[in-house]
Amino acid sequence: MNNIKVLVVDDSVLMRRIISDMINETQGMEVIDTAKNGEELIAKLNNITPDVITLDVEMPKMDGIEVLKKLREKDLNTTVLMLSSLSKKGAEITMNCLELGAFDFISKPSGHISLDITTLKDELIEKIRTAGEKNKNLNLGETGSVRRKGIIRNRRISNDYGAVVIGASTGGPKAIHSIITALPGDIGAPVFVVQHMPEGFTKAFAERLNSNSKLQVVEASHNEEIEKNKVYVAPGGYHMEVDENNRIILNRNPTIWGVRPAVDKLFISASKIYNKKLISIVLTGMGKDGAQGTEAVKAEGGYTISEDKSTCTIYGMPKAAYETGSVDEVLPLHYIPDRLLALLQK
């Protein structure tokens, strides 16, 4: 099998060397070139086409946003993995980059130039491998088929849904944005969202959603009272659950599937409170978080939806949920908002 070809972009010589060494030490991938800024990257793309670009978010001359706009114009078969600082500015630029089509991002743990990046080697390598495989599959046309009417296993539908839970990982920010911003300001239910995202980024994600949505969107707070027509985004680093007193519970219990917040934690908790009045949605993402939660929602009589492969950035979590046999309906992303409204308004 051909190696995944990577182009590393960072304005720090040290960071370029550290990242390149980690990639070149890994079987199945290689760094074919590096660039110190966005302008140099764009120039080099006239002669080479990498499978994956690792792109520093904050750079002089041309930041990540401008680079992605230029890449769109070139229409290359390349996926982009962002490296972002934990600063407020870095988080905001990262959200913009994800909306512009970046595959995913990795947070730099302690500043612009940091040897701590070596602690993120496993995550970096995993995401490069996944991005590279995604890129090759797209080139081969392996995108799945659109199920326009969805796969419906269970037509028994409640007339009084009281809450919605949504879980996602890779590709999730853009998918969640497309659903939440398509909903009206009065849906008669709260919405709880778990997006796999580290601390420091979920607040920017919630703020971006809020500025573009008719519903109020907030990063959830511990012991916050739950209100209808409000979207609660789980903070990075915390599991989010709901309790019988109509409040949100945040905790730092151990990770599940290596993540915190975990979709399963939210889904299982909400299923016990809302029972048959709960709608769950599993969107794009790596791994199988949300599968056990989907089973729990179905066991309590709730309605379960998973995203169709055709619109997933990564068909991992929705596939795992579907394979439990507990998914009521499989839908392409663009059909989910209307379906959700139809269920809530019955």
Is residue 281 over pLDDT 70?
A: yes
What's residue 173's pLDDT?
95
Which of 196, 239, 280, 308 does the annotation list as catalytic? Answer: 196
What is the rounded average pLDDT of the residues 95-107? 90
Spatial contact of 282 and 307, defined as CB atoms under 8 Å apart: yes
Task: Tell me, yes or no, if 116 is annotated catalytic.
Answer: no
> Residue 291: pLDDT band by 50, 70, 90 thresholds?
very high
Show the DSSP H helices in 275-335 as ranges.
291-299, 317-322
Domains 4-139 and 153-344 share a fold: yes
- Domains of the chain, residue spans: 4-139, 153-344
What's residue 286's pLDDT?
92
Is residue 60 over pLDDT 70?
A: yes
Give the whole-angstrom CA distance, residue 209 versus residue 187. 16
What's residue 135's pLDDT?
67
Q: Which of 24-38, 76-90, 239-253 is the least confident region?
A: 76-90
Structural fold of domain 4-139: Rossmann fold (3.40.50)
pLDDT in tens, 152-189: 555 555 558 999 999 999 999 999 999 999 999 999 99
Distances (CA, A) of 275 to 167, 280, 302: 18, 11, 6
Mean pLDDT for the chain overall: 89
What's residue 141's pLDDT?
36
What's residue 63's pLDDT?
81
Spatial contact of 127 and 23, defined as CB atoms under 8 Å apart: no
> Residue 109: pLDDT band by 50, 70, 90 thresholds?
low
Is residue 99 over pLDDT 80?
A: yes
Which of 11, 63, 264, 289 does the annotation list as catalytic? Answer: 289
Task: Tell me, yes or no, if 308 is annotated catalytic.
Answer: no
Which of 169, 269, 271, 326 does the annotation list as catalytic? Answer: 169
pLDDT in tens, 3-34: 999 999 998 898 899 999 999 999 999 999 99
CATH class, range 153-344: alpha beta
Task: Tell me, yes or no, if 239 is annotated catalytic.
Answer: no
Spatial contact of 199 and 225, defined as CB atoms under 8 Å apart: no
Is residue 228 over pLDDT 70?
A: yes
Token match 């709730």: residue?
302
Q: Which residues pair with 10 in a beta bridge?
A: none
Give the whole-angstrom CA distance, residue 106 versus residue 94. 10
Q: Which residues pair with 168 in a beta bridge?
A: 195
Show the DSSP H helices in the chain as ranges.
13-24, 38-44, 64-74, 88-99, 121-139, 172-180, 202-212, 263-274, 291-299, 317-322, 336-344
Give the whole-angstrom CA distance, residue 189 versus residue 273. 14
